Structure 1
């Protein structure tokens, strides 16, 4: 029934709009001026902040600067990583929203990685400069990922350009002196993942152009007229392609792309997600759909707060607050508008998680999680697009 109903919707779309897929239009999403590439320039400049963090740690390792001075330098560097690209996006008119999202995503990842890099090296120094500190590699993986190859790097021998750039490109946000490594590159596995990447990215572009864009464009008039019945109808119609695109994007990024990156770099830890689709609570979903971010939050945010005597509820709220900030940062800055309702919508996950965990169990809890995913995202998409349209195109000739 699901296949037949969705096939009918897709056929109806083709009959009504014809074929709208145009890969050439994708280029215009990243560039306004073919001679101006501000987003790419931002990504290149990101190297400056990574090198600043590395050289600060080198100075701290030999004792040429104090811990307090090093902490100030790191804090300024991390703060600049968030503020500098945001200011460029807001001030440079040639930056497109999609290009801005890409650049800000890179800077957000860089912020999380350098935060972890700073913390781990600080922990190494805290254990004593006199003796070498060795971090044990992660536990063994399945044979499919190859056996571990111990490297045995000790602090401060890890403070090299090679080590830094390996960490920056590795599919993890948590720094280690010795990452789990696989002994070889599996060519067949790599080719399968590359084929999936190419196939699914083309499928994503086609679905967005053919299905999402017309539905969103047809939703603007009901929003202007405040026709609630039509708004709900548009919302439900958008929920199908939106969720399908989200699922495909998840597989493309977390399974295909990250595995390609890990295989090329012989990175041994391939746990990028767990069985979030079986979630019986909102909390379980957030803990298992994005393992690299979850591990970072647990290691560098949640546990340090618990050790300082903060209650679990306060620490969880702080994690949700940080997550809401970064989600809003990646959307509001490229669109050049801040919407409090979107920020509060992210924070609404806290009472939602409590309600689902308190009153729903088993399949009922799983159904509640899926409903929140299927309905929540289209609401945010429609409201953001509506506000962006009103601010940029309403009243224009």
Structure 2
């Protein structure tokens, strides 16, 4: 009887274990790498099939001559490159103004006026050049104005930070020293100390100009060495092939401008086929610029701060998206625009509106001037984010808010592109009826 009870106990125990293994994850398998590899293989095979079908149907669509023509109308005229080289005049002007201020040969008021003149010229001079020079292509104009906009933000931060240093030096009557440390990948820390005005050198200025940040500081976090394998991976990502199968969709989306049978359906048919290629191009540009290019430059300069973006794809509100998809610009706005306005007693809503106004201005500046069309579509699109942010934050939460953010990204951009493409097409290639 005792033996029978023991057998029954073992049997019930084995049944209990079997039941647990059937009803739970007691098997212990937590590695799903095979399923992920299956997804990757299926994705590669499906895209390879799509690539081959488009090659057979459309042929080679990426013409190197057409790519070069986006930047140059005349192979012997390089206006965009010359305009970027001239930007060194404004960079050196900011450095020499700060040097005069550091030794007291000019007053703070005079230095502020000179900085305002230098910064204002950085916006007026390139835009006037882009509008006046006929050999400047729209793409070349966007690139050159983009460089000047980045330099404008950098030099504003440069003069602002050095002014803070002088104020603290005057308050404490001694040299200001700032020390920063950076935890590197190998666990070590790099310490660098630079004292004001010892930072006012050509080397320091041009390091800041090329560093992937918009906010200046006396000592940037630095990495101990350049990782060659990491550098080569980022370089490969920067130069690898693009997506030529987007070209037929974009070309077909121009047919509504050429077929004037009806007006309302073509206006709706343009954004719909252009949503996917437009959004994919935006995502590819984001990855190429914010991940590959900025990490490549940071690694080359041993720049330690690599927080260029956060998980904006999980945004449950429009505000979270704008604060996390472009960290360098967000930090600049907080440090040099939003917080100074708050310290002056301006309420939070007005300060946020001012930030959106400045952002809308630069978006319109970068689009309208190179295209030589002042339609304010980019400006109005940016300002439309304010009521959208309020609506999403008030009525939508969680996954619904995230879906609203993605809808605004996938649908909103093609509509804005429609406005500019429509006007540009009408002006340069004919009129629609």
User: What TM-score range do you get, normalising by the shorter chain?
Assistant: over 0.9
Q: Deviations over 1:354-384 (max 9, x none)?
A: 0000000000000000000000111111211
Q: Distance in 2 between matches of 1:10 and 1:175?
A: 45
Q: Distance in 2 between matches of 1:290 and 1:207?
A: 28
Displacement of 1:346 after TM fit?
1.1
Q: Distance in 1 between matches of 2:255 and 2:56?
A: 16
Displacement of 1:96 after TM fit?
0.3
Is the CA contact (8 Å cut-off) linking 2:176 and 2:196 kept in structure 1?
Answer: yes
The more displaced of 380-389 and 359-368 is 380-389
The aligned residue for residue 370 of structure 1 is 406
The aligned residue for residue 343 of structure 1 is 379
Alignment of 1:1-397 (within 5 A): 17-129=58-170, 130-137=173-180, 140-141=182-183, 143=185, 147-199=188-240, 202-203=241-242, 206=244, 210-211=247-248, 213-221=250-258, 227-394=263-430
Matched residue SS, 2:125: helix
Is the CA contact (8 Å cut-off) linking 1:335 and 1:388 kept in structure 2?
Answer: yes
Is the CA contact (8 Å cut-off) linking 1:147 and 1:182 kept in structure 2?
Answer: no
Matched residue SS, 2:166: helix
Q: Distance in 2 between matches of 1:341 and 1:362?
A: 30
Is the CA contact (8 Å cut-off) linking 2:377 and 2:419 kept in structure 1?
Answer: no
Is the CA contact (8 Å cut-off) linking 1:273 and 1:290 kept in structure 2?
Answer: yes
Q: Distance in 2 between matches of 1:192 and 1:288?
A: 24
Matched residue SS, 1:165: helix
Displacement of 1:207 after TM fit?
5.0
Is the CA contact (8 Å cut-off) linking 1:148 and 1:180 kept in structure 2?
Answer: no
CA pair 212-30 structure 1, distance change in 2 beyond 3 A: farther
Unaligned ranges ≥5, structure 1: none
Displacement of 1:135 after TM fit?
2.5
Bigger relative contact order (CA 8 A; separation at least 6):
1
The aligned residue for residue 19 of structure 2 is none
The aligned residue for residue 13 of structure 2 is none
Displacement of 1:143 after TM fit?
2.2
Q: Distance in 2 between matches of 1:159 and 1:331?
A: 34
User: Larger Rg: 1 or 2?
Assistant: 2
Is the CA contact (8 Å cut-off) linking 1:282 and 1:353 kept in structure 2?
Answer: yes
Displacement of 1:341 after TM fit?
3.4
Is the CA contact (8 Å cut-off) linking 1:325 and 1:343 kept in structure 2?
Answer: yes
Q: Deviations over 1:330-367 (max 9, x none)?
A: 00000001113331121000000000000000000000
Unaligned ranges ≥5, structure 2: 1-38
| Number of residue pairs the alignment of both structures matches | 389
Q: Distance in 1 between matches of 2:242 and 2:64?
A: 11
Matched residue SS, 1:135: strand
Is the CA contact (8 Å cut-off) linking 1:207 and 1:245 kept in structure 2?
Answer: no
| Structural RMSD (CA) | 2.3
Q: Distance in 2 between matches of 1:248 and 1:149?
A: 34
